[in-house]
């Protein structure tokens, strides 16, 4: 027996803990899809994924499939991937280029802005059939510094306002283009048998790092191992409002344009030499090398995306006990190939399917879900660093030690606000 009724959502989130039913209750999951994913800005793409005119990618807003397109004038559209005839999905490819989408079932075709273009054997419809009534459903879409979000709601605040102080951190994150734009280099996806919020928590969880990632740490040279001692560098976590948070692990790497004359780490000496041999000026070499490992922080944007050091981590809830994760490796758009190659190798080393990091994380997430089958009257504790020292954050926002569970508390307070409506 639980000591709270599951429909009383507000009671399931306290200041320092959340109820286990948040991971396990199918009715709560249904309510989340409705109250959170249909009521907030949800990340759908990075601009570089649909850089060209008439390019597109498929994505999701909650469980609803969408197509993100760029039309011939450069404007971005987010369209429900559902034919207006009898609902077939009209695009199954992950990415591509096309000036038209043709539904495979009866051949209705749509322009990339979603308008209905042609209906085969149109004489079978009445004369007053109006194509304008059957455009693909178009979601409200806004972009901040290349991050494209969509929402079902016309009446919620503009994206910039929703992101608030997180915007500054997005700008800092994008500095890893090292003077170039940031570009998606590739992606991989996997699923784990666990609730989506376990994933949301993980991106703002420095506490597990030296424990779970011992294998990763032991695979590094000494200099890098010291750099990755994330609990020992004076980092912190900040609640940025609206469920967003930033976890600063390596304060020296907050602003990648600062401190360009610091010594080049040993592990990047070969890269620096290669770039210099290609004729890049010393300043440019230093800028690329400093940015190559990414930013020293994870920015969690509620509810479904993180700018995590050197990649985007996107979560997609499948069911109460299943989540899809997408890791999008990023690099310099137009920068030297040697730099992007190094970025890919670093990404594989930690995040890749055979990497030393993510597979160990995934074991932890699975175990949380499995363990949560026991003791359904118990609570998930988020009380680490609850008495956070003040001083670093803006008024009204807590800052705590990097291993504080501040970011999780921020996300769950937003969850509570949205679910208790």
Which residues are at the interface with Fe ion (CB under 5 A)? 361
CB 239 within 8 A of CB 393: yes
From 66-74, 100-108, 160-168, 289-297, give the range in contact with ligand FES by CB under 6 A. 100-108
Shortest distance (Å) from residue 208 CB to Fe ion: 6
Shortest distance (Å) from residue 79 CB to ligand FES: 14
Partner from ligand FES, Fe ion, none binding residue 361, C-beta < 5-8 Å depending on class: Fe ion
The answer to whether 88 contacts ligand FES (rule: CB under 6 A) is yes
SS3 302: coil
Tell me which of 26, 72, 86, 214 binds ligand FES, using CB under 6 A: 86
> Looking only at residues 22 through 41 of this chain, which bind ligand FES when binding is defined by CB under 6 A?
none
User: Within 13 A of 92's CA, how many CA atoms are on the CB side?
Assistant: 5
106 to 135: interface string for ligand FES, x by CB under 6 A: xxx---------------------------
Partner from Fe ion, ligand FES, none binding residue 85, C-beta < 5-8 Å depending on class: ligand FES
Nearest to 63 by CA among 152, 144, 146: 152
The answer to whether 91 contacts ligand FES (rule: CB under 6 A) is no
Using CB atoms within 10 A of its CB, is residue 101 exposed (0-12), middle (13-18) or buried (19+)?
buried
From 79-87, 175-183, 251-259, 328-336, give the range in contact with ligand FES by CB under 6 A. 79-87
Sign of CA dihedral 227, 230, 232, 233: positive
Tokens read off for 212 = 């779970």
Helix axes 282-291, 269-277, angle to 10 degrees: 140
- DSSP structure string for 25-69: -HHHHHHHHHHTTTTS-EEEEEGGGG-STTEEEEEEETTEEEEEE
The answer to whether 208 contacts ligand FES (rule: CB under 6 A) is no
Shortest distance (Å) from residue 217 CB to Fe ion: 11
Tell me the C-alpha distance between 273 and 260, whole Å.
16
Strand partners, 109: 102, 118
In the complex with ligand FES, which residue's Cβ is closer, 116 or 419?
A: 116
Tell me the C-alpha distance between 346 and 69, whole Å.
31
Partner from ligand FES, Fe ion, none binding residue 106, C-beta < 5-8 Å depending on class: ligand FES
Tell me which of 103, 112, 147, 230 binds ligand FES, using CB under 6 A: 103
From 7-15, 104-112, 151-159, 266-274, give the range in contact with ligand FES by CB under 6 A. 104-112
Strand partners, 317: 323
Tokens read off for 413 = 């307070």
How many residues bind ligand FES (CB under 6 A)? The answer is 9
Shortest distance (Å) from residue 88 CB to ligand FES: 4
Tell me the C-alpha distance between 251 and 234, whole Å.
7
Tokens read off for 184 = 């998606």
Tell me the C-alpha distance between 205 and 237, whole Å.
9
From 7-15, 64-72, 101-109, 228-236, give the range in contact with ligand FES by CB under 6 A. 101-109
Partner from ligand FES, Fe ion, none binding residue 367, C-beta < 5-8 Å depending on class: none
Tell me which of 38, 53, 63, 85 binds ligand FES, using CB under 6 A: 85
Judged by the rule CB under 6 A, the positions of this chain that interact with ligand FES are 83, 85-86, 88, 103, 105-108
């Amino acid at each position: 027996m639980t000591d709270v009724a599951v429909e009383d959502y507000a009671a399931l989130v306290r200041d320092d803990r959340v109820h286990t039913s948040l991971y396990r209750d199918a009715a709560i999951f249904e309510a989340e899809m409705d109250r959170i994913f249909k009521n907030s800005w949800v990340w759908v793409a990075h601009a570089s994924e649909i850089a060209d005119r008439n390019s597109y990618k498929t994505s999701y807003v909650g469980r609803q499939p969408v197509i993100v397109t760029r039309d011939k004038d450069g404007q971005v559209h987010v369209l429900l991937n559902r034919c207006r005839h009898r609902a077939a999905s009209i695009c199954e490819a992950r990415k591509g280029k096309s000036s038209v989408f043709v539904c495979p079932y009866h051949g209705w075709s749509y322009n990339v802005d979603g308008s209905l273009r042609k209906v085969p054997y149109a004489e079978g419809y009445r004369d007053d059939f109006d194509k304008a009534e059957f455009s693909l459903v178009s979601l409200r879409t806004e972009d901040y510094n290349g991050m494209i979000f969509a929402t079902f709601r016309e009446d919620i605040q503009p994206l910039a306002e929703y992101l608030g102080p997180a915007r500054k951190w997005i700008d800092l994150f994008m500095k890893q283009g090292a003077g170039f734009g940031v570009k998606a280099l590739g992606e991989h996806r996997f699923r784990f048998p666990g609730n989506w919020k376990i994933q949301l928590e993980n991106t703002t969880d420095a506490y597990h790092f030296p424990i779970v990632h011992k294998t990763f740490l032991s695979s590094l040279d000494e200099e890098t191992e010291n750099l990755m001692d994330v609990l020992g560098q004076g980092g912190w976590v900040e609640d940025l409002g609206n469920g967003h948070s930033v976890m600063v692990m390596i304060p020296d790497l907050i602003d990648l344009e600062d401190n360009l004359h610091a010594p080049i780490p040993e592990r990047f000496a070969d890269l620096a030499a290669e770039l210099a041999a290609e004729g890049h000026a010393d300043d440019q070499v230093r800028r690329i090398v400093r940015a190559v490992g990414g930013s020293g922080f994870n920015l969690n944007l509620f509810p479904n995306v993180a700018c995590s050091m050197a990649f985007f981590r996107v979560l997609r809830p499948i069911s109460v006990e299943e989540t899809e994760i997408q890791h999008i490796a990023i690099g310099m758009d137009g920068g030297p190939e040697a730099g992007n190659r190094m970025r890919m190798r670093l990404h594989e080393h930690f995040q890749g399917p055979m990497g030393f990091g993510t597979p160990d994380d995934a074991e932890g997430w699975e175990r949380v879900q499995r363990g949560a089958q026991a003791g359904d009257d118990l609570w998930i504790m988020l009380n680490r660093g609850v008495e956070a020292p003040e001083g670093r954050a803006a008024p009204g926002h807590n800052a705590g030690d990097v291993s504080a569970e501040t970011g999780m508390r921020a996300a769950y307070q937003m969850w509570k606000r949205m679910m208790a409506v």
